[in-house]
Amino acid sequence: MFKKYSKFIKEHALFQGDFDRYDNYLTEINDVKKTLKNIDSEIKMLISLFKEININEIRFDNSKYKDKENYEVKFNRDIILSIPPLEIFIDDIKNNNFELYNKICNLYFASNEPNFHFDVQIETNNFNKFHFPIDLPPIFKNLGLGKKIILSAIQNFEYLLFVKSEDSLELKLSVDSITKMNDVFSFMKDGVVLIMKDDFNLISNVLIDFYDSYENLTIDKDFLEKYKNDIIDHNFLSKLYKDYL
């Protein structure tokens, strides 16, 4: 029953200790109390890895979807190698003890199917409008993970658009927190937020199109403070900021 699982662990374990640990889990799989303890230990370890991840270790891959909108979120090697064996272990529990499997779903995934993968939608034809199509699993909330994914997306795509009326409370809070950071600039109107990385030429070019689409912007005064002389010399931005110059 566990050959597929054992083969994966043997091929992908980071250390011999990883293989030994998971091998022991298989021998204890019929012991409900021990199996719950083992699952809890592995999930806590995965949570710790997500807490510590740097935004430079997050990337976006659309090879699965082959479009310009949907992306899988990929993480560092430790996380990549930690997730599949845990998924296979949970699947073995499902096949071996469905009642225990349901208990795990209730404890860690709000009664949903276990999910350790994250997708994002980034509409490149609409100012890189950003959205999580599926909410983060409860166990991965309040880790700052959503915020790190967004910051990495800003780094990779240069700017993102958020429509607050379409976003979850957690995403709204992350966006609000990011707009207060010093290394990005944000421009808002009626619940629409455009956040851009610190690049004067990029911002000036994007704002021309953004302003045509969204009148009466709430402008970023930190951007004015940092680039005041450039703004004064810029035909479009000098008009946009005329009340503040």
Whole-number Å distance between alpha carbons of 32 and 48: 24
Mean pLDDT value across the chain = 86
What is the pTM assigned to this prediction?
Answer: 0.86
Helix (H) or strand (E) holding 93: helix 77-96
The residues near 90 (Cβ < 8 Å, ≥ 6 apart) are 39, 101, 104, 114
Q: How far apart are CA 241 and CA 245, in angstroms?
A: 6
Statement: residue 37 has pLDDT above 50: yes
- Residue range 46-58, pLDDT digits in tens: 999 999 999 999 9
**Residues of the chain with pLDDT > 90: what percent?**
50
How far apart CA 25 and CA 23 sit, in angstroms, is: 5
In this prediction, residue 2 carries a pLDDT of: 44
**How many other C-beta atoms can be found within 10 angstroms of the C-beta atom of residue 159?**
23
pLDDT of residue 15: 42
Query: Span 40-69, mean pLDDT?
Result: 91
Go through 31-53 and write b for each residue having 16 or more CB atoms within 10 A of its CB, e for each that does not.
eeeebeebbeebbeebeeebeeb
Q: What is the pLDDT of residues 97-146, one digit of tens each?
A: 899 999 999 999 888 889 888 899 999 999 999 998 887 778 888 889 99
pLDDT recorded at residue 9:
52
| pLDDT single digits (tens) 184-205 | 999 988 779 999 999 999 999 9
pLDDT at 214: 60
Question: What's the pLDDT at 229?
Answer: 95
Contact 118, 146 (CB under 8 A): no
Q: List the beta strands (DSSP E) in 65-191.
A: 70-74, 119-123, 129-131, 159-163, 184-189
Phi-psi region of 216 (alpha: psi -120 to 50; beta: other; left: phi over 0): left
